[in-house]
Chains A and B, each alone.
Chain A
Amino acid sequence: MDFRTPDIDWAALAPVLVLMGTSGFVLLVGVFLPRGARRGFGATFAALGLLAAAIVAGILFAQDETASLTLRESIWRDRLAEMAQILVCGAGLLAIGVSYWERRAPLDPGASEPPADEHERIIELYALLLAAVGGMAFFVQADNLMALFLGLEWFSIALYILTAISVHRLSSLEAGLKYLIVGSFGSAILLFGSAFVYGATGALEFRAIAEGSGDAERLFLVAGLALILVGLAFKMSAAPFHMWTPDVYQGAPTSITAFMAAATKVAALVLTLRLLTTAFPGEEDLWTWGLAGIACVSLLWGNLAALVQTDVKRLLAYSSVSHAGFLLMPLAAGNELGGRALLFYLVPYAAMSVGSFAIVAARERELRRPVTLENLGGFGWERPFLGVTMAVFMFGFIGLPPAGLFLGKFYAFAAAYERGWTWLVIVGVLGTVISIYYYLGVIASMYMRPAEARVAAAGGSPPRDWPLATTVFLSLVVTVGSLVAADPLIDLMRDAVASLTFPH
């Protein structure tokens, strides 16, 4: 049997390799360290690994003017993938700051104190975080249904474990189990769809699917496309495939929620953009309309469900569902403006997601219990920096300045309008109007509700949490910076989507 190893473009794999190498290094070396040193070691090397991967991806981004395929045409080396890698690495970096003092996480009502050993499982947390980012970095490069599935499972499994990593909390374990079951269901659907597409076209590689779709069995191709889209919609938590989102976001340790909310969306949406434009250009009338439908459902369902939430993490989870709708609008538009809009939107959105969950984490650690709209009372005046930043994020989610999402929303609407879908823009407007109520509710709780008698369980002011404050600050910088320096950012995004051909 003649077996030849394929030509491998190692540079294309470099970000993934850096991440996985660091992950292994952190895990193996961490075991030998004294327990007290593990936290600092893990966080430092995880941050260095993410930074290195982001820099490598950045260098590749600067070099790769044309897209190329490698590894037997199963992964891309192009600017779209590299931009997405930079974004997920950035989300991971920000999440490290939140996770550093995760031990001060809230208890379930009535649960006993966490184990005295606060350094438990911290090494695993960082190793898995790196593995998850590595999986996403691989996922966004995929040019092949098998590579796609591999990447998807790779980061999903890491996230399942991360969700359940606070083993002393029942809600974390429950969330992990839910995520595992529902997530596996989504993956299975995606795999099922991939099988249909393979059966119909005889190809796994994206461009070959596009070529083979001409004389493919129409029924199987369409069914496969639909099932794949459903599987991806699970990951981007678009309604009606979002059922896991509120439970998992609420139960997972808040630093993990912050990471998931930002990075999973980036990975899933970027891959969807590539898959649909590369593999299914002939079926664009199907998927543009399909995505527009999903966008509408997400906008309405996410926003309406968020109205009645009192737990802030659940509220933000539904807000994340609604933003899946906003993000799908430019994707559904299927034009080049939409590609730019999607990528631009992701930058402030990712920063704001991590930042807002980080602030929730800060309040949680102060109170030692889940944050609700009630016990957020007075937070804005007690912690001016965190309060003002949270207000900027909430106003930003609505689409008000000074957050970059102001422009992001503008671009998303502009893309849908250019497609001629004014109705979709109107649905977006409607969703935004509904969302005002609950985003303002968070601000009103922070500033306009008197502080409860004394909600903090532990006396005294909370210990300083510099890593978390740094994360919040950096998120704020990215959020506001993407409005001010929109021009260079949009140029980068234009380069990133230059290798794709859009149907409209």
Chain B
Amino acid sequence: MTTALILLPIAGALAVWLLPWRTSRSAGGLALLVALAELFLWVVAVRRFDFGSGELQQSADVTWVADLDISYKVGLFDFSLWLVGLTAFVGVAAIGYAMWVGRDRPRAYFGLLLFLTGATIGVFSAQDLLLFYLFFEAMLIPLYVLIGVWGGTRRAVATVKFIIYTMAGSLLMLVAVIALGLANKTFDMTQLGPNDNPWIFLGFVAAFAVKAPLWPFHGWLPDAYREAPSEVAALLSGVVSKTAAYGLIRIVLPSFPEPVADFRTTILILASVGLVYGSLLAFRSEDVRGVIAYSSLAQMCLIVLGIFAGNASGLDGALLQMVNHGLVSASLFLLAGAIERRTTTGRLELLGGMARGRPLLASLLLATGVIALAVPLSSAFAAEFLILNGAFDRGWGYAVVGALAIVLAAMYTLRLISAVLHEDVGSAVHPQALDLRPAEVAIVGALVVALVALSLWPAGITDHAFMGADGPAGWAEYVPPAR
């Protein structure tokens, strides 16, 4: 089942690349069909999932290299299931949006989007260290090409920076993978014993800190998010960045109990600084994508804060916020793309007054924004409340910083909304610039509906995750059963 979830998009990508298509629509149409089938597969997986057990489910295990006990081992934990779902869902939205926009060289483009989806799902379900690393690296290839070929004018710089930053981090992770695997005499993630070597711990953290990104490893972020096509930016900030947070939860927390405790304060402080710093930059940013990009930085730092709070509340909140922020930022980036297509710019000083005569754009942006700034009853509010609750247990200072950041989030989100929708009509806003078209409404609307559903029932996720990990600290102290 999990194998099918990974292989379906990759097989779809191959089909899109290799079959001779007459028109660009048919390549995109096939890609969309595959993405929808993937979402359906995920729904089937959820229905078959036994949430009570908390164990690895729907797993497959085939020897890959017997020599060092490396295997193709995949499976789903309850929390990874939600992230797989997020990927499949945002994948549908991105492919649908790309199809509506119509990109050059559609076969290559749609194939790469599907491949990216498949590789990301691979990261969320790999249960072997080397396989995890393989998928983690495999995500880079489509991202590089998607941004490098279809990106904005400064794409060359953006891609090189992005790849070198991430590879520098992930090669350190490769060293850590080797070290951890050789120390355990297996690369099977379900059989790793606790390890107290801080250097191995730091190798993993380096990769995830760059990918998330965590302050101060975010140098690649503004360029990559600005230059990527909007649906790629949606996938990158909505889904791909979550692989880093997932890696922290899946590998770092259970395998390195002592180093986690030793470095907790450092990481919490970095996350707190990044939270405030990202929020301030988002507030000062001069373009739509800048606001979303830096708010992503802030939100990822908030998620890391929750993860390293080291208790069940923080972890639940982090997971909820991962799904929630994935949907929010995907939706915002797609809306940013829609705005840029209508005005040819994302600069806030040239925008404004777009609400008048464009009710659909205004409603969707407002709805997403309101959820993003965590008004009470929204899913972001639930998630941030849980994270702050967890952080408070660790030290009240972190909770104060987190609360401050929520205020800042309100400031930058409202600034974005008013700069785009209200104020005087901007010079780049043509009076005849259209409202959202039905396809755009359907795609972004689906994301917003999912957010509203999540706001109504956040326990849908928090009560169905980390079930195998009882005790006050939950998964943070969960040690997988030995062989």
Contact = CB atoms under 8 A, between A and B. Distances in A.
A448 B137 contact: no
B137 A414 contact: no
B175 A400 contact: no
A417 B178 contact: yes
Contacts of B137: 399-401, 406
Interface in B185-229: 199
Contact of A425 (B163, B168, B175): B175
A414 B68 contact: yes
Given A440-B163, A447-B148, A433 B171 contact: yes
Interface stretch (B31-39, B152-160, B404-412): B152-160
B145 interface: yes
A185 interface: no
Contact of B174 (A340, A401, A413, A437): A413
A444 B171 contact: no
A381 interface: yes
Contacts of A486: 64-65
Contact of B178 (A414, A432, A437, A443): A414
Nearest to B164: A436
Contacts of B167: 398, 432-433, 436
A418 B130 contact: no
B422 to A, nearest CB: 39
A444 B148 contact: yes
A400 B171 contact: no
Interface in A376-429: 381, 391, 395, 398-402, 406-407, 409-410, 413-414, 417-418, 422, 425-426, 429
A437 B175 contact: no
A247 B237 CA distance: 45
B171 A494 contact: no
A401 B66 contact: no
A437 B105 contact: no
Interface residues of A, number: 35
B67 A340 contact: yes
B111 to A, nearest CB: 11
Nearest to B177: A410
Contacts of A14: none
B141 A487 contact: no
A340 B65 CA distance: 12
B178 A410 contact: yes
B140 interface: yes
B467 interface: no
A400 B171 CA distance: 10
Contacts of A410: 130, 174, 178
A490 B148 contact: no
B138 interface: yes
A413 B160 contact: no
A11 B144 CA distance: 51
B281 interface: no
Contact of A429 (B66, B144, B156, B175): B175
A436 B66 contact: no
Interface in A183-237: none
B154 to A, nearest CB: 12
Contacts of A418: 182
Nearest to B199: A422
Contacts of A401: 134, 137-138, 141
Nearest to B171: A429
A60 to B, nearest CB: 24
B360 interface: no
A418 B185 CA distance: 11
A487 B67 contact: yes
- Majority secondary structure of chain A interface residues (helix, strand, loop or mixed): helix
Interface in B46-73: 63-68
B11 interface: no
Given A398-B167, A413-B175, A433-B164, A447 B66 contact: no
Contacts of A490: 65, 67
Given A395-B141, A436-B163, A417 B175 contact: yes
Interface string B279-296: 000000000000000000
A405 B389 CA distance: 46
Nearest to A388: B17
Contact of B145 (A409, A426, A447, A494): A447
B140 A400 contact: yes
A432 B170 CA distance: 11
A429 B64 contact: no
Nearest to B175: A425
B7 interface: no
B482 to A, nearest CB: 23
Contact of A432 (B64, B66, B67, B171): B171
B160 A487 contact: no
B452 interface: no
B171 A437 contact: no
B144 A440 contact: yes
Nearest to A431: B171
Nearest to A429: B171
Given A395-B141, A448-B149, A486-B65, A437 B179 contact: no
A28 B198 CA distance: 67
A381 B155 contact: no
**In the complex, which of the residues B164, B167, B181 has the most CB atoms of chain A within 10 Å of its own CB atom?**
B167
Given A440-B163, A448-B156, A422 B175 contact: yes
**In the complex, which of the residues B66, B141, B155, B181 has the most CB atoms of chain A within 10 Å of its own CB atom?**
B141
Interface string B385-423: 000000000000000000000000000000000000000
B20 to A, nearest CB: 12
A133 B423 CA distance: 77
Given A400-B140, A436-B163, A407 B65 contact: yes
A414 B129 CA distance: 13
B172 interface: yes
Contacts of A395: 141
A429 B172 contact: yes
A36 B360 CA distance: 73
Contacts of A399: 137, 171
B229 to A, nearest CB: 14
Contacts of B148: 443-444, 447-448
A400 B178 contact: no
Contacts of A429: 168, 171-172, 174-175
Contacts of B134: 401, 406
A308 B357 CA distance: 54
Contact of B64 (A402, A487, A494): A487
A443 B156 CA distance: 11
A116 B125 CA distance: 61
A413 B178 CA distance: 8
A436 B165 CA distance: 10
A417 B168 contact: no
Contacts of A398: 167
**In the complex, which of the residues B160, B178, B179 has the most CB atoms of chain A within 10 Å of its own CB atom?**
B178
A490 to B, nearest CB: 5
Given A417-B182, A487-B64, A494-B67, A447 B175 contact: no
Contacts of A447: 145, 148-149
A417 B179 contact: yes
Contact of B159 (A406, A407, A425, A440): A440
A402 B138 CA distance: 8
Nearest to B137: A400
A381 B105 CA distance: 9
A381 B64 CA distance: 34
Given A429-B168, A440-B159, A448-B155, 7 more contacts: A399-B171, A401-B138, A410-B130, A410-B174, A425-B178, A433-B164, A433-B167
9 contacts: A399-B137, A400-B140, A400-B141, A401-B137, A426-B175, A429-B171, A440-B144, A440-B160, A443-B144
Which 7 pairs from chain A and chain B are nearest by CB?
A429-B171, A414-B178, A433-B168, A490-B67, A486-B65, A448-B148, A401-B138
Interface of A: 340, 381, 391, 395, 398-402, 406-407, 409-410, 413-414, 417-418, 422, 425-426, 429, 432-433, 436-437, 440, 443-444, 447-448, 486-487, 490-491, 494
